[in-house]
Copies of this chain bind each other. A is one copy, B any other.
Amino acid sequence: MKDRRTGNNQYLKEMNKSIVLDLIRTNKDMSRKFLADRTGLSATATGAIVKTLLNDEYIQEIGEGVSSGGRKPVILRLKPRSYYSVGFDIDERYIYTVVLDITGEVVYRKKLETPKRLTADETIETLYQAYFQAVNELVIRDDRILGVGVSIPGMMDIETKRIILAPNLGWSDVDLLNPLEEALDTTVYLDNEAMCSASCENWIGLCRNVEDFICINIESGIGAGMFVRGKIYRGFTGSAGEVGHISVDDKGLVCKCGNVGCLETIASINGMVAKAMRGSTSIQNEINVEKAFEELLQKARRGDSRSLEIFQEAAESLGKAIANLINTFNPQKIVLGKKFPDYADLVLETIRKTAQRLALSYPSRHVEIVSSPFGEDSSALGAAIIPLRKLFGK
């Protein structure tokens, strides 16, 4: 409405371009004629848009398709390695850089371990270097960069885009967006890491064409990104998806959030390691959680009963929380990601069975509970997908 009122055609043109591009992206044999049919635009208008897209190298012609009578149609495809999108995942332990091309293919990835927590300023400096290293290595021209997406392990203010709280980074009320845009001189988008992971599954993963799904990230904590009707669901103030704080044990540990028996006290990496430590004879004040988790997992794989029990309890708790989510959300899929794929083989069946047993039968018969194919890459990939979504009007 707004745009019709302004009487400005630029918006409509951009929208038509996005629609055409997205049809080419999602259909393997799009011709000019198909595009005209699908959009309702005239052959002339479609032709003009296609011409511009070809000139600007967003798309390419790839030979002829099957004719339905008359001239054989020329098939249009996105042009690989024509335009690029950069994604960063900022974690307490690393900064992960990926570059995708317009087709969603990963053309660059680099993980930089960070020995200590970085401040926001140090992070900007590090991202600056990582960005130009990637861009120079790939020899990407400025005008071929669609933008930068950044995955943040924290809560953001929907309006101001300030980071309200990122506990693992030790940040609160930080503006990363503006200084970073200034430093990189390109458009930057921030999003929560669980939202990024969900977006990744939706664009290139297990939830393509899935409207309603939940991606649960198992890491030091547990959070989820949710899609509703094909779009990220953020809730009223942008903090939806905090499934790590679903209470699953009223006699359980007090969580740092104040609730009792939160899922993440039992089923997060930190929760599992803490439980293993409580059972250990050696008391360590400073533990390397990642290393400790690796050891726990290896012990479980060797058949150590205490370690297996910890995974089993985590699986049952996840099953309980997932049963709640099935009952309330009735999702089509639930994807478990980040660290989860590393030990999915040990626990996935227990999670499925527990959820099936506890959830209502109708919605639980229709949900798939699966392990993410991306592991820890999903947030960086999802971040890089943000500028792609903008291009395709999604």
Residue contact A242 to B1, C-beta cutoff 8 Å: no
Measured in the bound complex, the distance between the Cα atoms of B37 and A40 in whole Å is: 26
Residues from 164 to 181 in A contacting B, C-beta threshold 8 Å: 164-165
Which A positions have Cβ atoms within 8 angstroms of B? 1, 3-5, 7, 37-40, 155, 164-165, 211-212, 224, 226, 228-229, 231, 233-243, 245-251, 257-260, 320, 323-325, 327-332, 357-360, 362-363, 366-367
A318: min CB distance to chain B, Å: 14
For residue A257, which residues in chain B have a CB less than 8 angstroms away from its CB?
360
Name the residue of chain B whose CB is nearest to the CB of A235: B330
Q: How many copies of this protein are present in the complex?
A: 2
Further pairs besides A155-B362, A243-B327, A259-B358: 15, Cβ < 8 Å:
A1-B39, A5-B37, A212-B236, A229-B233, A235-B329, A235-B330, A235-B331, A239-B360, A240-B329, A240-B363, A242-B363, A243-B328, A245-B327, A245-B359, A325-B328
Residue contact A40 to B329, C-beta cutoff 8 Å: no
A316: min CB distance to chain B, Å: 11
What would be 13 A-B contacts, judged by CB atoms less than 8 Å apart?
A1-B38, A4-B40, A224-B328, A229-B233, A235-B331, A237-B363, A239-B330, A240-B330, A243-B327, A246-B328, A247-B320, A248-B250, A328-B329
Measured in the bound complex, the distance between the Cα atoms of B366 and A249 in whole Å is: 26
